[in-house]
Amino acid sequence: MILETTVFSIIQTIAVYAIPVLFAITVHEAAHGWMAGRLGDNTATMLGRVTLNPLKHIDPVGTILMPLMLYVATSGAFVFGYAKPVPVRFGHLRNPRWGTLWVALAGPLANLAQALLWGVLLVLLKGLGVMEPFFLRMCQAGMGVNVVMCVFNLFPVPPLDGGRVLVSLLPARPAIALSRLEPWGFFIVAALLVTHVIDWLWMQPLMTLVGWVLNIVLYPLLVLVR
């Protein structure tokens, strides 16, 4: 009985989160490639990565297997995954330094925009009297997933987007020193995740801030539909 309940709970969670997660990953990666194309590097466009087809961005291990295994192993307390990174030749950008900054920011900003859109949909559904729990939970999941992706990817360690942003903003010497961490960045981030350092030092404060901003932006719409 307990096993059946657990399996049913996992299936419910997957059903609610599947569409928001696929959109969050797909639009995030496509935004990197789209911005790179606007700023001088068409590598992602030529390889077919500037697309809303999720199959082009999904990594079988990082996007599906790892998150599912972690979800089951930790009863949903800890989930981590990744998509195929969009190939960008930063040296081909018209202005490599500032181009890198905008290419890196494009992904998190795309997630922020999606969080807002899911929030608008949530407010409209409630305003129209739609109280179907599945759709409301999906909208809430869409907001949550995109806020998490936005904030997490802005953590200032390469190869995360925030690391590339910081490298672009720093003077030459510290920028070079930080960029040398990139081969070890995955292990550094994984260690900080496991020890919850990223959680209390970065994720919780910034997610609270982003949630507060989204609530302010959505409040006029909420008033209108009441």
> What pTM did the predictor assign?
0.90
Q: How many Å from the N-terminal Cα to the C-terminal Cα in the chain?
A: 42
Which of 105, 100, 93 minimizes the C-alpha distance to 41? 93
Active-site residue (options: 4, 29, 132, 182): 29
pLDDT (tens digit, 9 = 90+) per residue, 70-102?
666 655 555 666 788 899 999 999 999 999 999
Q: Is 29 a catalytic residue?
A: yes
pLDDT (tens digit, 9 = 90+) per residue, 105-148?
999 999 999 999 999 999 999 988 888 899 999 999 999 999 99
Q: Distances from the Cα of 75 to the Cαs of 72, 143, 193, in angstroms?
A: 5, 21, 17
